[in-house]
C-alpha cells in the first residue's frame, strides 16, 4: 500500500484542484448549492477513499506529545493576541459570523472542508515512503489552493489583487505549510487543531478586532511561523525519542500525586466559581441593555447578596443581578424603590441603554447579587458556545 502513496497523492491533488477550480468559476446562482452539498460531498468521498485505501494505523506517533503541546501553545497564543487586539483597538461585529445560523453554516461549509483536508494530508504524508518530499510539497500547495475561497473575487469583481493575495493566498499557504510541517513528525490532533483554529476563527467568533483584514492576515501568518519555529526547536533539541521518554518518565515519577491533586483542585475551584459557590461570582452580559456600562459580551463579577439581606445591601443606583418572572436573569440598575401591599420594599430597575423602566418590580428575595467589576469581551466564548448549542438543539 505504502509504495502506491505517490499515485494516490496525484489522484487526490487532481481531484482537489478540479473541485476548487469549479468553485472559483461556477455562476453566482449555483454557489450556495455547491458549497453546501457538492464540495463537502467531494471532500468526504475523497477522504473515505484515502482512509480505506491506506487503512488505519494504531501505532503511537513518535512526536505526538511534542506536536500536541506546540499546537495547544499556538492556539493559546493566538487567543491571547486576539483578545489583546480587541482590547487595544476595539471590536466590531463580525460580518462573516453575525448570527448562530451563519456560524453553524460556516462550521459545515468551511469547517468540514478543513477537517477532511487535514485527514487527507496526514494520512498521505504518514503513509509515504517514496518521493515523500514531493508528496509534502504537492499536498501543501493543493490543500492551500482548496482554501483560497476569495479567488472568486478576482473572477467576478474588481477586488484589488494585493488584498486578495495577502488575505487569502498568502495566509492559506502559510497555514498549509505549517500543517504539513507538523504532519511529517506530529500527530493528527495537532495538525487539525492548528489548521482549524487559524482557518476558522474569523468564521466562528461574533466579534473581530478593529484592524484591517490585511493587518490581521499578517498577524496570523506571523503567529503560524512562530509555531513552526517553536516546533522545529523542540524536535531538534531531542536527538532520540528514548531520551525524551526517559525525561518524561522521571518528570512524572517524582510527584505524580501532587500534580494530579493540584489539577483536580484547580478544576474544582473553577467549576465552583462559575457555579456561584463563592461570595463573588461571574455573569455574562448577553444583551445590549446595559450598553455604556457593561457592553454585550462583558464578564461581570457580582457580590452575592445573602437571602433576606437585600434591604440593607442594595441602594438606589446599584447595578443588581436578579431573577425576574419566567426565571430569566437580568443585570440592571436600581432607579427607585416602592413598597408592595404588605409593606415590603420592591426595586424599580432599568437598563442603562433604555429610557423605560422594567415592567415588573423586583422583589427582595429575587436579588442575587450586586455588580462590582467587569471585564469586557471575556464573556464572548460563552456567548459563542451558547449560540452553537441553541442552534443545534
Distance separating alpha carbons of residues 293 and 340, to the nearest angstrom: 30
From 31, 39, 33, 34, select the one nearest 15 (Cα to Cα).
39
Instruction: Give domain limits for the chain.
Output: 2-241, 280-392
Backbone angles phi, psi at 278, to 5 degrees: -110, 165
Low-confidence ranges of the chain (pLDDT < 70): 1-4, 56-62, 130-131, 150-167, 237-262, 388-393
The distance in angstroms from the start CA to the end CA of the chain is 43
Which 8-state DSSP code applies to residue 388? H
Cβ burial of 330 (10 Å; 0-12, 13-18, 19+) is buried
Alpha-carbon torsion (251, 255, 257, 262), positive or negative:
negative
Residues in contact with 327: Cβ distance below 8 Å, sequence separation at least 6, in sequence order: none
| C-alpha–C-alpha distance, residues 7 and 30, integer Å | 32
Summarize pLDDT for 277-298 with one digit per residue, the tens. Answer: 888 999 999 899 999 999 988 9
pTM listed for this prediction: 0.59
In this predicted structure, what is the pLDDT of residue 283?
93
What is the structure's pLDDT at 96?
A: 84
According to the CATH classification, is domain 280-392 in 3.40.50.2300? Answer: no
CB within 8 Å of 379: residues ≥ 6 apart? 284, 285, 297, 298, 299
Per DSSP, 298 falls in state: -
- Spatial separation of the C-alpha atoms in residues 29 and 18, rounded to whole Å: 19
Amino acid at each position: 500500500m505504502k509504495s502506491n502513496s505517490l499515485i494516490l497523492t496525484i489522484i487526490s491533488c487532481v481531484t482537489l484542484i478540479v473541485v476548487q477550480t469549479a468553485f472559483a468559476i461556477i455562476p453566482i446562482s449555483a454557489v450556495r448549492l455547491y458549497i453546501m452539498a457538492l464540495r463537502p460531498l467531494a471532500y468526504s468521498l475523497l477522504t473515505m477513499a484515502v482512509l480505506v485505501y491506506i487503512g488505519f494505523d494504531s501505532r503511537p506517533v513518535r512526536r505526538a506529545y511534542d506536536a500536541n503541546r506546540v499546537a495547544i501553545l499556538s492556539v493559546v497564543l493566538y487567543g491571547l493576541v486576539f483578545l489583546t487586539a480587541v482590547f487595544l483597538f476595539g471590536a466590531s461585529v463580525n460580518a462573516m459570523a453575525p448570527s448562530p445560523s451563519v456560524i453553524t453554516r460556516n462550521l459545515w461549509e468551511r469547517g468540514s472542508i478543513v477537517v477532511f483536508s487535514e485527514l487527507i494530508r496526514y494520512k498521505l504524508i504518514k503513509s509515504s515512503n517514496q518521493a515523500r518530499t514531493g508528496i509534502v510539497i504537492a499536498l501543501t500547495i493543493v490543500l492551500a489552493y482548496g482554501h483560497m475561497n476569495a479567488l472568486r473575487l478576482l473572477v467576478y469583481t474588481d477586488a484589488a489583487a494585493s488584498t486578495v493575495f495577502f488575505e487569502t493566498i498568502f495566509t492559506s499557504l502559510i497555514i498549509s505549510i505549517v500543517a504539513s510541517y507538523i504532519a511529517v513528525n506530529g500527530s493528527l490532533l495537532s495538525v487539525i487543531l492548528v489548521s482549524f483554529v487559524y482557518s476558522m476563527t474569523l468564521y466562528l467568533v461574533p466579534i473581530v478586532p478593529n484592524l484591517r483584514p490585511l493587518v490581521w492576515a499578517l498577524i496570523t501568518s506571523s503567529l503560524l511561523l512562530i509555531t513552526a519555529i517553536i516546533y522545529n526547536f523542540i524536535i531538534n533539541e531531542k536527538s532520540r525519542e528514548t531520551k525524551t521518554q526517559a525525561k518524561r518518565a522521571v518528570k512524572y515519577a517524582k510527584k505524580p500525586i501532587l500534580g494530579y491533586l493540584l489539577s483536580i483542585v484547580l478544576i474544582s475551584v473553577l467549576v465552583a466559581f462559575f457555579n456561584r459557590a463563592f461570595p463573588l461570582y461571574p455573569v455574562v452580559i448577553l444583551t445590549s441593555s446595559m450598553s455604556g456600562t457593561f457592553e454585550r459580551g462583558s464578564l461581570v463579577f457580582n457580590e452575592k447578596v445573602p437571602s433576606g439581606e437585600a434591604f440593607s445591601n442594595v441602594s438606589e443606583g446599584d447595578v443588581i443581578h436578579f431573577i425576574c418572572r419566567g426565571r430569566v436573569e437580568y443585570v440592571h440598575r436600581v432607579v427607585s424603590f416602592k413598597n408592595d401591599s404588605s409593606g415590603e420594599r420592591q426595586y424599580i430597575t432599568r437598563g442603562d441603554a433604555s429610557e423605560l423602566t422594567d415592567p415588573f418590580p423586583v422583589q427582595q428575595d429575587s436579588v442575587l447579587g450586586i455588580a462590582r467589576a467587569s471585564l469586557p469581551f471575556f464573556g464572548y466564548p460563552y456567548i459563542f458556545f451558547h449560540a452553537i448549542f441553541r442552534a443545534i438543539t
